[in-house]
A and B are shown apart, each in its own frame.
Chain A
Amino acid sequence: MLGALTLEACRAMIANRLRTFLTMLGMVIGVGAVVLMLAVGEGTRVTIRKQVETLGTNIFMVLAGFQQSAGVRTGSGSRHTLTVADGKALLELDGVIRVSPIVNNNIQLVAGGQNWNCMVMGVNEMYLPLRDWTTSSGREMDALDIQSAARNVWLGQSTAKELFGSVDPVGQSIRLGRVPFTVAGVLASKGQSLDGRDQDDTAIVPISASQRYLVGSQFRGSIRMIMVQAENAQVMTQLQDELRRVLRERHHLTTDAQEDDFFINNMSALMETAENMARSMTLLLGAIASVSLCVGGIGIMNIMLVSVTERTREIGIRLSIGARQRDILTQFMLEAVLVSLTGGVLGLLTGSLGASLVSYFLKTSVHVTPFSLILSFTVSAGIGLFFGFYPAYKAAMQDPIEALRFQ
């Protein structure tokens, strides 16, 4: 029964080729737009997710406070209120698993015939595991490097390439400013950060060596920031208060009137927010695209109503030879669903193709998920059913005598 009705529906569709094509086009554009928009949104989300993961998980960034002189407030970190000892104190807290103090400044690196300016960070041996970072060659930093303030340097991928090209730099000597260091390792590639910086254009040294040889700080031992890693996401909120309490105590900020001389940023929460924004954007784009899908559905309804009117006599014939109302209903519903499903499948292909074109020409990340494919397939079938029902119902409710008289 369904097979024969499908055949008849196809025949009716072919008999009105242009009309069928135009109706389908509405669905193609609708479904295509939804697939493309979801792909763009999802691509953005995936990009952000990846960048979030490069930062490490459950991270707090504690920044030194700002300086205020004669009413002029300089930026955060301008006053080096944090110390390596603060970092050690924070590591004692329950729920904290790793802490690394960080000092950084731009230094000219010279090796062989090449030189390169990049951000050199002084960190401790916990920094790389905290950032979920590894070395691609050489060894990792250890506690001995810190204790002995060893003049060892680990180069980021980009820096290593700029200075040494394709040669493995491990064991080579290099000057940081005027101070000779030895390359102890090369870091694995980390890619772009959330703000678009190349995280591989960097070098790290033991913080003790940085403080002794590189940073001309007015207060020896003061640092710009401390990265703190919590053991899991659940303790983050509570831990933030704990960090603040300990630091205030250590900085002798006893009364409420005294402001914090540091900032604590919950980086994971910030990243979460960014990811949520991307998710909302996906939803918004999808919602806008659904409007065109809806318009496509209305197109189907419109053309089905025309078709029912045109075929009134045919409906009368069918009813008179013994078709039940639901047989007529099935026939016209089938036609509507067939048009919308075919349109939907073509839309899927168009949308996916459009997504590849966008990613190729605009160099943005797009991501067509199986979910969006299943969604648009189901939705186009649903649209056929929904918008096809009223015309089909109208067809089924025809009075056979009136329908037979129709010219």
Chain B
Amino acid sequence: MALVIETKNITKSYPTGAGDLPVLHGVDFSLAEGEFTAIMGPSGSGKSTFMNILGCLDRPTSGVYRLLGEEVESLSPDQLANRRLHYIGFVFQGFNLLPRADLIENVALPLLYARLPVAERRKRALASLEQVGLGPWAKHRPSQVSGGQQQRAAIARALVCQPSLILADEPTGNLDTQTSNEIMALFSHLNDEGITLVLVTHEPDVASYAKRLTRFRDGLLVEDGPVLDRRRP
């Protein structure tokens, strides 16, 4: 299986008034196509920083990050935007939908930046919404649907450009248990269809849907292995 993600000795530190604050102390990590890993760890362990680097939103201070075999350090801001657009789909804790646009417009937004014609945008956005079971709600605004539905729409938006990787940062953090399970079931289902997933979460219950567990502590990767009692929907 080809590697989607490969990091070598990645460090990240933030400049502060009292000198540089190191957050990651050299992380080696790789993820093959079709994998589904849950990143866990306490607050301040560096897992969010690591996610941001994986998502091409941030750059490592040192070390090498290869996304689909390509070194990210050498890319310009526009090229990074292009990678976020075509290779990576984000799902956030707060859904992050545009409140003034209806669901289909939200889902179609990345396609706008991909410069697709309007008819194609609508067609693909609708297909993506149907994939997450939201076809009938296409014309609703985010405020008119439930939290679970909003997160489904966000997942549809992440899927719409057919990315190689989906990064989900606490996707169930704002949802009740039952809805969380539904969302995780959707992720499992997507993974079964071949989509590579990285999930950041606090909750062991949620993490147990993944195939692999990666644990961070104090800026280091301390545990990385298969999930033994994997939960299946």
A219 to B101, CA, bound (A): 96
Closest to A407 in B: B94
Tell me, yes or no, whether B85 is within 8 Å of chain A by CB: yes
Q: Is the CB of B52 within 8 A of A322?
A: no
A5: B residues at CB distance < 8 A: 112
Q: Is the CB of B118 within 8 A of A322?
A: no
Q: Is the CB of B77 within 8 A of A322?
A: no
CB distance from B109 to the nearest CB of A (A): 6
Tell me, yes or no, whether A140 is within 8 Å of chain B by CB: no
Tell me, yes or no, whether B114 is within 8 Å of chain A by CB: yes
User: Which of A154-162, A174-182, A323-331 faces chain B?
Assistant: A323-331
B54-73: CB near A (< 8 Å → 1, else 0) gives: 01011000000000000000
Q: Which of A3, A321, A400 is within 8 Å of B109, CB to CB?
A: A321
Tell me, yes or no, whether A198 is within 8 Å of chain B by CB: no
Secondary structure of the A contact surface, majority rule = helix
Which B residues between 121 and 138 are near A, CB-CB below 8 angstroms?
Answer: none
Q: Is the CB of A322 within 8 A of B84?
A: yes
A404 to B161, CA, bound (A): 21
B115: A residues at CB distance < 8 A: 1
Closest to A327 in B: B113
A323 to B84, CA, bound (A): 8
Q: Is the CB of A321 within 8 A of B57?
A: no
Q: Is the CB of A317 within 8 A of B96?
A: yes
Q: Is the CB of A318 within 8 A of B109?
A: yes
Q: Is the CB of A320 within 8 A of B90?
A: yes
Q: Is the CB of A325 within 8 A of B57?
A: no
B79-113: CB near A (< 8 Å → 1, else 0) gives: 00110111000101000111011000000011011
Q: Is the CB of B82 within 8 A of A322?
A: yes
Give the total of A residues in contact with B, Cβ under 8 Å. Answer: 25
Tell me, yes or no, whether A15 is within 8 Å of chain B by CB: yes
Q: Given contacts A321-B157, A324-B81, is CB(A314)–CB(B113) below 8 Å?
A: no
A326 to B78, CA, bound (A): 9
Q: Given contacts A401-B57, A401-B58, A404-B92, is CB(A322)–CB(B78) below 8 Å?
A: no
A48 to B183, CA, bound (A): 80
A319 to B96, CA, bound (A): 12
A404 to B86, CA, bound (A): 20
Which A residues between 1 and 40 are near B, CB-CB below 8 angstroms?
Answer: 1, 3-5, 8, 11-12, 15
A314 to B52, CA, bound (A): 17
Closest to B167 in A: A320
Q: What range describes how many residues of B lie at the interface? A: 20 to 34
Closest to B58 in A: A401
Q: Is the CB of A325 within 8 A of B118?
A: no
A5 to B121, CA, bound (A): 14
Q: Which of A314, A319, A320 is within 8 Å of B98, CB to CB?
A: A314
Q: Given contacts A4-B112, A12-B100, A317-B98, is CB(A322)–CB(B161) below 8 Å?
A: yes
A319: B residues at CB distance < 8 A: 57, 81, 84
A1 to B113, CA, bound (A): 8
Closest to A11 in B: B100
Which B residues between 159 and 178 are near A, CB-CB below 8 angstroms?
Answer: 161
A15 to B81, CA, bound (A): 28
CB distance from B75 to the nearest CB of A (A): 12
A4 to B100, CA, bound (A): 14
Closest to A316 in B: B96
B86: A residues at CB distance < 8 A: 322
B13-39: CB near A (< 8 Å → 1, else 0) gives: 000000000000000000000000000
Q: Is the CB of A322 within 8 A of B81?
A: yes
Which A residues between 301 and 336 are near B, CB-CB below 8 angstroms?
Answer: 313-314, 316-327
A183 to B55, CA, bound (A): 100
CB distance from A7 to the nearest CB of B (A): 9
Q: Which of A316, A317, A324 is within 8 Å of B77, CB to CB?
A: A324
Q: Measuring CB to CB, which residues of chain A are less than 8 angstroms from any residue of chain B?
A: 1, 3-5, 8, 11-12, 15, 313-314, 316-327, 400-401, 404
14 example contacts (A-B, Cβ-Cβ < 8 A) are as follows: A11-B101, A317-B97, A317-B98, A320-B57, A321-B84, A322-B81, A322-B82, A322-B84, A323-B85, A324-B78, A325-B77, A400-B57, A401-B52, A401-B57
Q: Measuring CB to CB, which residues of chain B are less than 8 angstroms from any residue of chain A?
A: 52, 55, 57-58, 77-78, 81-82, 84-86, 90, 92, 96-98, 100-101, 109-110, 112-115, 118, 157, 161
Give the 5 A-B CB pairs with smallest separation, nearest first. Answer: A322-B85, A324-B81, A322-B84, A317-B96, A321-B110
Question: Besides A317-B98, A321-B110, 16 other CB < 8 A contacts?
Answer: A5-B112, A15-B100, A313-B96, A314-B98, A317-B97, A319-B57, A320-B57, A322-B82, A322-B84, A324-B77, A325-B78, A327-B113, A400-B57, A401-B57, A401-B58, A404-B57
